Structure 1
Amino acid sequence: MADETTPKADEQATEKPPAKAAGGEAAPAAKAKKEKPPAVEDKPFPEFIKQDFMPAVKNAMAKEGITDLYLAFENRSYPIPGLVTDPCWQVIGQLNGGRRQFIIGFSKEDIAAPKFFCSADRGSTPSVLESFMIDERKVTLDLMVQYTLQRLNGQKWLVRN
């Protein structure tokens, strides 16, 4: 009985190693790995902001109970009075009927470029530019949304103490 289940030495020797292609390299696998679709962050800058970032921020804010959020994407000068600069791309958000405003600015048409944040309350104009997401080496959609919510929560606009 033991002889029936144990392979014989002759059978083991007839097994062939995997086929090798010319040059001694292993042949490619029968099933090639599926290529990953490109990341949303690889889209052209304006498309990424309009099609992915802004809707994701609106959805995240809705989960926090903010339903009157207005978002715009514009190329304009920095919003600080007296600061004269070249125009840059900005995501402008308004809530509470426009009484609260925040801006995320991009120094270049690239989500990995240096970014700034500013905010204003009660209809005033922003007076301070703050760096935004400066420690991130790889910028993703999820991180951008998370940092936006974190920054707005720091202003006590989402959850009060």
Structure 2
Amino acid sequence: MEDKPFEEFITQHYLPGLTETLGKVGIHDLDLKFEQAKLPIAGLGDSECWQVIGRWQNGQRQFHVIFAKDSIQGPKYFCYADNGAQPSTLESFMIDERKVNLDLLLLYTVQRLNGQKWLVRN
């Protein structure tokens, strides 16, 4: 599955898997997009890269999983924003993983969102 072309893997496996996984923790109004776009943080340049952009709670919460190359094995970044604001910090994402697969990509995305206390209340 991970050997499929990048765009096919993301659209046919990662997006549906993420929708299902987040649905299990109560996020049912998730809007996911996969597109080439400029980085969502001002001052980081005008170049475009592939991004998975997720929004829910009427757009009040958003996150971006950013792929620097057209590959799940390449460098990845994460940013988020709450209350309808724009993201302000770009973080490295999954930098310690040598071989990325669907399960790890889903796990790390959910863990990162949970780190914001967006999924499970303490």
State the secondary structure of the residue aligned to 1:153: helix
> TM-score under structure 2 normalisation?
0.98
Instruction: Decide which structure has greater strand share.
Output: 2
CA positional deviation for 1:147: 0.3
What is the alpha-carbon distance in structure 1 between the residues aligned to residue 65 and residue 19 of structure 2? 14
Tell me the C-alpha RMSD between the 2 structures.
Answer: 0.6
What is the alpha-carbon distance in structure 2 between the residues aligned to residue 72 and residue 96 of structure 1? 15
1:102 aligned residue: 63
Which 5+ residue runs of structure 1 have no aligned equivalent? 1-39
Identity %: 59
Which of 85, 105, 121 is matched with 1:124 structurally? 85
CA positional deviation for 1:160: 1.4
1:37 aligned residue: none
1:112 aligned residue: 73
> TM-score under structure 1 normalisation?
0.75
2:32 aligned residue: 71
CA positional deviation for 1:98: 0.6
State the secondary structure of the residue aligned to 1:94: strand
CA positional deviation for 1:86: 1.3
Is it true that 1:48 corresponds to 2:9 in the alignment? yes
Name which structure has the greater RCO, CA cutoff 8 Å, separation 6+.
2
Larger radius of gyration: 1
Number of corresponding residues: 122
Matching residue's letter, 1:104:
V
What is the alpha-carbon distance in structure 2 between the residues aligned to residue 103 and residue 55 of structure 1? 16
1:24 aligned residue: none
CA positional deviation for 1:65: 1.0
